[in-house]
Protein backbone atom coordinates (compact mmCIF):
# COMPACT_ATOMS: atom_id res chain seq x y z
CA UNK A 1 0.00 0.00 0.00
CA UNK A 2 1.27 3.45 -0.87
CA UNK A 3 -0.50 6.48 0.49
CA UNK A 4 1.54 8.59 -1.89
CA UNK A 5 0.10 6.69 -4.85
CA UNK A 6 3.32 6.79 -6.85
CA UNK A 7 2.78 5.71 -10.45
CA UNK A 8 3.05 2.03 -11.18
CA UNK A 9 5.21 0.91 -14.11
CA UNK A 10 2.35 -0.32 -16.28
CA UNK A 11 0.75 3.12 -16.20
CA UNK A 12 3.52 4.92 -18.04
CA UNK A 13 5.41 4.30 -21.25
CA UNK A 14 2.94 1.70 -22.52
CA UNK A 15 1.33 3.83 -25.25
CA UNK A 16 3.08 4.51 -28.48
CA UNK A 17 0.89 7.37 -29.64
CA UNK A 18 2.03 10.95 -29.24
CA UNK A 19 -1.44 11.99 -28.10
CA UNK A 20 -1.34 9.50 -25.26
CA UNK A 21 2.07 10.73 -24.15
CA UNK A 22 0.84 14.33 -24.20
CA UNK A 23 -2.19 13.35 -22.14
CA UNK A 24 -0.01 11.61 -19.58
CA UNK A 25 2.26 14.65 -19.39
CA UNK A 26 -0.76 16.93 -18.90
CA UNK A 27 -2.13 14.76 -16.08
CA UNK A 28 1.26 14.49 -14.38
CA UNK A 29 1.97 18.21 -14.72
CA UNK A 30 -1.45 19.15 -13.32
CA UNK A 31 -1.19 17.00 -10.23
CA UNK A 32 2.51 17.74 -9.81
CA UNK A 33 1.77 21.47 -9.77
CA UNK A 34 -1.14 20.95 -7.38
CA UNK A 35 1.00 18.97 -4.96
CA UNK A 36 3.76 21.58 -5.17
CA UNK A 37 1.30 24.30 -4.14
CA UNK A 38 0.01 22.09 -1.33
CA UNK A 39 3.59 21.55 -0.19
CA UNK A 40 4.44 25.27 -0.03
CA UNK A 41 1.19 26.28 1.69
CA UNK A 42 1.13 23.29 4.02
CA UNK A 43 4.75 23.54 5.15
CA UNK A 44 4.44 27.31 5.73
CA UNK A 45 1.25 26.91 7.75
CA UNK A 46 2.49 24.03 9.88
CA UNK A 47 5.88 25.66 10.55
CA UNK A 48 4.04 28.78 11.71
CA UNK A 49 1.83 26.63 13.94
CA UNK A 50 4.85 24.88 15.47
CA UNK A 51 6.66 28.16 16.11
CA UNK A 52 3.64 29.68 17.85
CA UNK A 53 2.88 26.56 19.87
CA UNK A 54 6.49 25.84 20.87
CA UNK A 55 6.87 29.43 22.02
CA UNK A 56 4.44 28.56 24.82
CA UNK A 57 5.38 24.91 25.39
CA UNK A 58 6.67 25.64 28.92
CA UNK A 59 3.15 26.49 30.07
CA UNK A 60 1.23 24.51 27.46
CA UNK A 61 -2.02 22.77 28.27
CA UNK A 62 -3.03 19.45 26.73
CA UNK A 63 -4.71 21.23 23.81
CA UNK A 64 -1.48 22.91 22.73
CA UNK A 65 0.58 19.73 23.13
CA UNK A 66 -1.92 17.95 20.86
CA UNK A 67 -1.75 20.70 18.24
CA UNK A 68 2.06 20.46 18.24
CA UNK A 69 1.78 16.72 17.57
CA UNK A 70 -0.71 17.27 14.76
CA UNK A 71 1.44 19.94 13.10
CA UNK A 72 4.55 17.75 13.42
CA UNK A 73 2.73 14.80 11.82
CA UNK A 74 1.55 17.05 8.97
CA UNK A 75 5.08 18.35 8.38
CA UNK A 76 6.55 14.85 8.27
CA UNK A 77 3.96 13.75 5.75
CA UNK A 78 4.37 16.86 3.59
CA UNK A 79 8.12 16.21 3.51
CA UNK A 80 7.45 13.23 1.21
CA UNK A 81 5.87 15.38 -1.53
CA UNK A 82 9.16 16.27 -3.32
CA UNK A 83 9.98 12.58 -3.65
CA UNK A 84 6.49 11.77 -4.92
CA UNK A 85 6.44 14.63 -7.46
CA UNK A 86 9.88 13.69 -8.80
CA UNK A 87 8.67 10.09 -9.18
CA UNK A 88 5.61 11.31 -11.08
CA UNK A 89 7.77 13.15 -13.64
CA UNK A 90 10.70 10.72 -13.86
CA UNK A 91 8.38 7.69 -13.99
CA UNK A 92 10.89 5.69 -11.97
CA UNK A 93 12.04 5.24 -8.35
CA UNK A 94 15.51 6.66 -7.69
CA UNK A 95 15.64 6.59 -3.89
CA UNK A 96 16.65 3.00 -3.30
CA UNK A 97 15.45 0.35 -0.90
CA UNK A 98 15.96 2.58 2.14
CA UNK A 99 13.85 5.29 0.54
CA UNK A 100 11.02 2.79 0.02
CA UNK A 101 11.04 1.75 3.66
CA UNK A 102 11.36 5.25 5.11
CA UNK A 103 8.95 7.14 2.86
CA UNK A 104 6.17 4.55 2.84
CA UNK A 105 6.53 4.09 6.60
CA UNK A 106 6.18 7.85 7.12
CA UNK A 107 2.83 7.63 5.36
CA UNK A 108 1.40 5.20 7.89
CA UNK A 109 3.20 6.71 10.88
CA UNK A 110 1.89 10.24 10.37
CA UNK A 111 -1.59 9.07 9.43
CA UNK A 112 -1.99 7.09 12.66
CA UNK A 113 -0.30 9.76 14.78
CA UNK A 114 -2.81 12.32 13.48
CA UNK A 115 -5.97 10.32 14.09
CA UNK A 116 -4.76 8.98 17.45
CA UNK A 117 -3.97 12.53 18.58
CA UNK A 118 -7.42 13.68 17.50
CA UNK A 119 -8.94 10.79 19.45
CA UNK A 120 -6.96 11.82 22.52
CA UNK A 121 -8.12 15.42 22.11
CA UNK A 122 -11.76 14.32 21.94
CA UNK A 123 -11.31 12.07 24.96
CA UNK A 124 -9.71 14.84 27.00
CA UNK A 125 -12.47 17.29 26.09
CA UNK A 126 -15.03 14.69 27.16
CA UNK A 127 -13.25 14.14 30.49
CA UNK A 128 -12.92 17.89 30.99
CA UNK A 129 -16.71 18.08 30.90
CA UNK A 130 -17.56 14.95 32.86
CA UNK A 131 -14.59 14.88 35.29
CA UNK A 132 -13.21 18.44 35.46
CA UNK A 133 -11.34 18.00 38.76
CA UNK A 134 -9.44 14.94 37.54
CA UNK A 135 -8.49 16.83 34.38
CA UNK A 136 -7.04 19.73 36.36
CA UNK A 137 -4.88 17.39 38.46
CA UNK A 138 -3.11 15.87 35.44
CA UNK A 139 0.49 17.05 35.21
CA UNK A 140 2.48 18.11 32.17
CA UNK A 141 4.50 14.89 32.51
CA UNK A 142 1.30 12.92 32.00
CA UNK A 143 0.48 14.90 28.86
CA UNK A 144 3.96 14.40 27.43
CA UNK A 145 3.85 10.68 28.20
CA UNK A 146 0.49 10.45 26.44
CA UNK A 147 1.93 12.20 23.39
CA UNK A 148 4.91 9.82 23.29
CA UNK A 149 2.50 6.89 23.66
CA UNK A 150 0.60 8.04 20.57
CA UNK A 151 3.78 8.08 18.47
CA UNK A 152 4.96 4.75 19.87
CA UNK A 153 1.68 3.02 19.04
CA UNK A 154 1.77 4.54 15.56
CA UNK A 155 5.32 3.23 15.10
CA UNK A 156 4.32 -0.28 16.16
CA UNK A 157 1.56 -0.34 13.53
CA UNK A 158 4.04 0.94 10.94
CA UNK A 159 6.84 -1.58 11.58
CA UNK A 160 5.39 -4.36 9.37
CA UNK A 161 5.39 -2.01 6.38
CA UNK A 162 8.93 -0.88 7.17
CA UNK A 163 10.14 -4.50 7.31
CA UNK A 164 8.19 -6.01 4.43
CA UNK A 165 8.33 -3.31 1.75
CA UNK A 166 11.29 -3.26 -0.65
CA UNK A 167 12.44 -1.91 -3.98
CA UNK A 168 11.67 -4.22 -6.87
CA UNK A 169 12.54 -4.08 -10.56
CA UNK A 170 10.53 -4.99 -13.64
CA UNK A 171 11.75 -5.38 -17.21
CA UNK A 172 9.73 -3.30 -19.67
CA UNK A 173 8.75 -4.59 -23.15
CA UNK A 174 11.15 -2.16 -24.81
CA UNK A 175 14.01 -3.59 -22.75
CA UNK A 176 14.32 -0.97 -20.03
CA UNK A 177 14.15 -1.58 -16.27
CA UNK A 178 11.49 -0.09 -14.04
CA UNK A 179 12.09 0.31 -10.28
CA UNK A 180 9.22 0.57 -7.82
CA UNK A 181 8.34 0.01 -4.18
CA UNK A 182 6.18 -3.02 -3.40
CA UNK A 183 5.37 -5.25 -0.39
CA UNK A 184 7.14 -8.60 -0.40
CA UNK A 185 4.60 -10.60 1.58
CA UNK A 186 1.89 -12.96 0.40
CA UNK A 187 -1.35 -11.44 -1.02
CA UNK A 188 -3.46 -12.77 1.86
CA UNK A 189 -1.09 -11.33 4.49
CA UNK A 190 -1.08 -8.00 2.67
CA UNK A 191 -4.88 -7.99 2.54
CA UNK A 192 -5.12 -8.68 6.28
CA UNK A 193 -2.57 -5.98 7.11
CA UNK A 194 -4.28 -3.30 5.01
CA UNK A 195 -7.63 -4.23 6.56
CA UNK A 196 -6.15 -3.90 10.05
CA UNK A 197 -4.73 -0.49 9.14
CA UNK A 198 -8.14 0.63 7.92
CA UNK A 199 -9.61 -0.46 11.25
CA UNK A 200 -6.96 1.33 13.33
CA UNK A 201 -6.92 4.56 11.31
CA UNK A 202 -10.60 4.98 10.39
CA UNK A 203 -13.05 2.54 11.97
CA UNK A 204 -11.89 2.30 15.61
CA UNK A 205 -11.13 6.03 16.08
CA UNK A 206 -14.40 6.84 14.31
CA UNK A 207 -16.44 4.71 16.69
CA UNK A 208 -14.68 6.16 19.75
CA UNK A 209 -15.01 9.76 18.62
CA UNK A 210 -18.62 9.22 17.56
CA UNK A 211 -19.51 7.75 20.95
CA UNK A 212 -17.81 10.62 22.84
CA UNK A 213 -19.54 13.29 20.79
CA UNK A 214 -22.94 11.67 21.22
CA UNK A 215 -22.41 11.76 24.97
CA UNK A 216 -21.19 15.35 24.81
CA UNK A 217 -24.11 16.34 22.60
CA UNK A 218 -26.52 15.10 25.23
CA UNK A 219 -24.69 17.04 27.93
CA UNK A 220 -24.59 20.27 25.96
CA UNK A 221 -28.18 19.91 24.80
CA UNK A 222 -29.25 20.20 28.40
CA UNK A 223 -26.90 23.13 29.05
CA UNK A 224 -28.03 24.85 25.85
CA UNK A 225 -31.64 24.74 26.98
CA UNK A 226 -30.70 26.51 30.18
CA UNK A 227 -28.60 29.02 28.21
CA UNK A 228 -31.58 29.78 25.95
CA UNK A 229 -33.73 30.41 29.00
CA UNK A 230 -31.10 32.83 30.34
CA UNK A 231 -30.61 34.35 26.87
CA UNK A 232 -26.86 33.58 26.73
CA UNK A 233 -24.88 32.75 23.60
CA UNK A 234 -23.04 29.56 22.72
CA UNK A 235 -20.14 29.07 25.11
CA UNK A 236 -16.52 29.10 23.89
CA UNK A 237 -16.09 25.59 25.29
CA UNK A 238 -18.73 24.37 22.82
CA UNK A 239 -16.93 26.17 20.01
CA UNK A 240 -13.72 24.33 20.92
CA UNK A 241 -15.52 20.99 20.69
CA UNK A 242 -17.08 21.93 17.36
CA UNK A 243 -13.69 22.90 15.95
CA UNK A 244 -12.12 19.60 17.07
CA UNK A 245 -14.97 17.70 15.45
CA UNK A 246 -14.46 19.77 12.27
CA UNK A 247 -10.79 18.70 12.14
CA UNK A 248 -11.88 15.08 12.54
CA UNK A 249 -14.45 15.39 9.75
CA UNK A 250 -11.88 16.94 7.41
CA UNK A 251 -9.51 14.05 8.18
CA UNK A 252 -12.18 11.50 7.27
CA UNK A 253 -13.19 13.38 4.14
CA UNK A 254 -9.58 13.41 2.92
CA UNK A 255 -8.64 9.84 3.85
CA UNK A 256 -11.79 7.78 3.36
CA UNK A 257 -11.61 7.93 -0.49
CA UNK A 258 -7.98 6.77 -0.27
CA UNK A 259 -8.91 3.77 1.89
CA UNK A 260 -11.85 2.84 -0.33
CA UNK A 261 -9.53 2.93 -3.33
CA UNK A 262 -6.99 0.72 -1.50
CA UNK A 263 -9.52 -1.84 -0.27
CA UNK A 264 -11.61 -2.06 -3.43
CA UNK A 265 -9.17 -4.18 -5.49
CA UNK A 266 -8.45 -6.39 -2.47
CA UNK A 267 -12.09 -7.34 -1.93
CA UNK A 268 -13.38 -7.02 -5.49
CA UNK A 269 -12.99 -10.39 -7.20
CA UNK A 270 -12.93 -8.98 -10.74
CA UNK A 271 -10.37 -6.39 -11.89
CA UNK A 272 -11.76 -2.89 -12.27
CA UNK A 273 -12.54 -2.15 -15.92
CA UNK A 274 -11.01 1.32 -16.00
CA UNK A 275 -8.93 2.97 -18.67
CA UNK A 276 -5.26 3.47 -17.89
CA UNK A 277 -5.56 7.26 -17.70
CA UNK A 278 -8.67 7.02 -15.51
CA UNK A 279 -6.85 4.72 -13.10
CA UNK A 280 -3.89 7.11 -13.00
CA UNK A 281 -6.12 10.14 -12.37
CA UNK A 282 -7.86 8.39 -9.47
CA UNK A 283 -4.47 7.47 -8.00
CA UNK A 284 -3.34 11.08 -8.19
CA UNK A 285 -6.67 12.40 -6.92
CA UNK A 286 -6.76 10.30 -3.72
CA UNK A 287 -3.10 11.15 -3.10
CA UNK A 288 -3.83 14.86 -3.48
CA UNK A 289 -6.77 14.57 -1.08
CA UNK A 290 -4.61 13.05 1.66
CA UNK A 291 -1.96 15.74 1.21
CA UNK A 292 -4.57 18.50 1.19
CA UNK A 293 -5.54 17.48 4.72
CA UNK A 294 -2.10 18.56 5.95
CA UNK A 295 -2.52 21.83 4.05
CA UNK A 296 -5.98 22.64 5.47
CA UNK A 297 -5.17 21.74 9.07
CA UNK A 298 -3.08 24.84 9.99
CA UNK A 299 -6.07 27.09 9.22
CA UNK A 300 -8.27 24.92 11.43
CA UNK A 301 -5.64 24.98 14.19
CA UNK A 302 -5.70 28.79 14.09
CA UNK A 303 -9.47 28.85 14.55
CA UNK A 304 -9.25 26.20 17.25
CA UNK A 305 -6.66 28.08 19.32
CA UNK A 306 -8.63 31.31 18.88
CA UNK A 307 -11.74 29.66 20.33
CA UNK A 308 -9.68 27.95 23.00
CA UNK A 309 -8.13 31.26 24.07
CA UNK A 310 -11.65 32.68 24.32
CA UNK A 311 -12.62 29.71 26.47
CA UNK A 312 -9.60 30.21 28.75
CA UNK A 313 -10.36 33.92 29.01
CA UNK A 314 -13.88 33.16 30.20
CA UNK A 315 -12.52 30.62 32.68
CA UNK A 316 -10.15 33.27 33.98
CA UNK A 317 -12.98 35.77 34.40
CA UNK A 318 -15.18 33.17 36.08
CA UNK A 319 -12.35 32.35 38.47
CA UNK A 320 -11.97 35.96 39.63
CA UNK A 321 -15.71 36.40 39.80
CA UNK A 322 -15.85 33.29 41.97
CA UNK A 323 -13.07 34.44 44.32
CA UNK A 324 -14.35 38.00 44.53
CA UNK A 325 -17.66 36.71 45.84
CA UNK A 326 -15.88 35.58 49.02
CA UNK A 327 -14.68 39.11 49.73
CA UNK A 328 -18.25 40.08 50.54
CA UNK A 329 -18.57 37.31 53.13
CA UNK A 330 -17.40 37.18 56.76
CA UNK A 331 -13.63 36.86 57.27
CA UNK A 332 -13.80 33.21 58.31
CA UNK A 333 -15.61 32.21 55.19
CA UNK A 334 -13.29 34.40 53.08
CA UNK A 335 -10.20 32.66 54.43
CA UNK A 336 -11.75 29.27 53.78
CA UNK A 337 -12.63 30.23 50.21
CA UNK A 338 -9.13 31.55 49.59
CA UNK A 339 -7.50 28.32 50.66
CA UNK A 340 -9.98 26.18 48.73
CA UNK A 341 -9.42 28.06 45.48
CA UNK A 342 -5.64 28.33 45.73
CA UNK A 343 -5.10 24.76 44.49
CA UNK A 344 -6.60 25.65 41.08
CA UNK A 345 -5.20 29.18 40.79
CA UNK A 346 -1.95 28.05 39.16
CA UNK A 347 -3.84 26.17 36.48
CA UNK A 348 -5.95 29.20 35.60
CA UNK A 349 -2.99 31.59 35.66
CA UNK A 350 -0.77 29.29 33.59
CA UNK A 351 -3.44 28.83 30.93
CA UNK A 352 -3.99 32.58 30.81
CA UNK A 353 -0.26 33.16 30.34
CA UNK A 354 -0.31 30.72 27.43
CA UNK A 355 -3.22 32.65 25.98
CA UNK A 356 -1.32 35.94 26.29
CA UNK A 357 1.83 34.52 24.74
CA UNK A 358 -0.06 33.36 21.66
CA UNK A 359 -1.53 36.75 20.90
Instruction: Give domain status of residue 189, yes or no.
Output: yes
Is 308:344 a contact under the CB 8 Å cutoff? no
The Cα–Cα gap between 156 and 249 comes to 25
Q: Give the residue numbers spanning the domain of 136.
A: 9-294
Is 103:83 a contact under the CB 8 Å cutoff? yes
Angle between helices 18-55 and 81-90 (to 10 degrees): 170
Which tens digits make up the pLDDT trace of 262-274?
898 888 877 677 7
Which tens digits make up the pLDDT trace of 213-264?
888 877 777 766 665 555 444 454 666 677 778 888 888 999 999 999 889 8
The Cα–Cα gap between 146 and 151 comes to 9
Is 122:248 a contact under the CB 8 Å cutoff? yes
What is the pTM assigned to this prediction? 0.74
Instruction: Give domain status of residue 326, yes or no.
Output: no
Q: Which residues pair with 180 in a beta bridge?
A: 168
The average pLDDT across 293-307 equals 78
The CATH number for 158's domain is 1.20.1070.10
Instruction: Give domain status of residue 152, yes or no.
Output: yes
Vertex 29 angle, CA 71 and 282, to 5°: 70
Q: Which of 34, 7, 353 is nearest to 170 (CA)?
A: 7
Is 116:150 a contact under the CB 8 Å cutoff? yes
pLDDT at 138 over 50: yes
Instruction: Give domain status of residue 131, yes or no.
Output: yes
Instruction: Give domain status of residue 356, yes or no.
Output: no
Dihedral (CA of 38, 44, 45, 47) sign: positive
Instruction: Give domain status of residue 325, yes or no.
Output: no
pLDDT at 176 over 70: yes
Instruction: Give domain status of residue 85, yes or no.
Output: yes
Tell me the Cα Rg of the chain.
25
Domain count within the chain: 1
pLDDT at 310 over 90: no
Q: Which of 212, 243, 63 is nearest to 130 (CA)?
A: 212
Contacts of 248 (CB under 8 A, 6+ apart): 118, 122, 209
Amino acid sequence: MNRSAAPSPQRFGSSGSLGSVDQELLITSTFGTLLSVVYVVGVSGNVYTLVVMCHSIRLATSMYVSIINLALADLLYLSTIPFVVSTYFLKDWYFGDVGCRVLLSLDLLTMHASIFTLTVMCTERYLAVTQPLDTVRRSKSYRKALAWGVWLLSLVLTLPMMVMVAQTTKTLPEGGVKRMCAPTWAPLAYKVYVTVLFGTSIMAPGLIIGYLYIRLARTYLESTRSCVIRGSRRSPKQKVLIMIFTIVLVFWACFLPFWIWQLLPLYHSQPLSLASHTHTCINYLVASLTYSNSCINPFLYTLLTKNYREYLKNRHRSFYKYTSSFKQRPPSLHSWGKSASSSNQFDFNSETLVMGALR
